[in-house]
Amino acid sequence: MLPLPDTPYEAVIFDCDGTLVDSMPLHYQAWLASLAHHAAPFDFTEEYFYSKAGVREQDVVRELNRHYGSSVDPDSVADYKAALFEKMIPQVPEVRPVADFARAMHGRMPLSVASGSEEHIVRGCLSANGLLHLFDDIIITPRLVARGKPAPDMFLLAAERMGVRPEVCLVLEDGQSGIEAAKAASMAWAYIPRTLR
């Protein structure tokens, strides 16, 4: 059962990784392999990884560089990680309660995706699970906005493309940065816990 708020809504914005699809364990594997390949001096724990859910990879590396006083190339880490993860996409399962909710809402109200991952990764994960067609090609990624999560920019753009006011949107998110972004956009939100699989 999804933990949905009681507030009325007219459109739904879904995060992808950890919300629509259970890709986070594979993302973590790809992160570790990319950081090892780049000899990054980071203590990249699973707890830290999940705390950065929804945040663009390059921004995570920049933050770690500041913390560790290092100069690991953010784009190189992100590109290498993305290439590794792409090979794993066929293994990514859906998060069934969320995917079933998206299927049930399709055609009843506008739906979109706002993800911290690159667009081809999002499309690959959604396609692998037969979900891509549900979102009328409204897929918002950090490349389309000035600021990624936890800023509200991605969710505000999603609302604009769906043709609805931000105040009538419901956001489904598994990451704290996404919840902060939803609050900043004046949208209702539902937290999708890791236990909901």
H or E element in which residue 91 lies: none
Could you confirm whether 15 is annotated as catalytic? yes
The Cα–Cα gap between 74 and 111 comes to 31
Helices (H), the chain: 24-37, 46-51, 57-68, 74-88, 96-105, 119-128, 153-162, 176-184
Token look-up 């780049």 returns: 38
> Which whole-number Å values give the CA distances from 45 to 48, 69, 165, 176, 188, in the listed order?
5, 18, 38, 17, 30
Query: Could you say which of 15, 59, 153, 174 is catalytic?
Result: 15
CA 143, 146, 151, 153 torsion-angle sign: negative
| 135's tokens | 């979102």
Q: What are the residue numbers of the active site?
A: 15
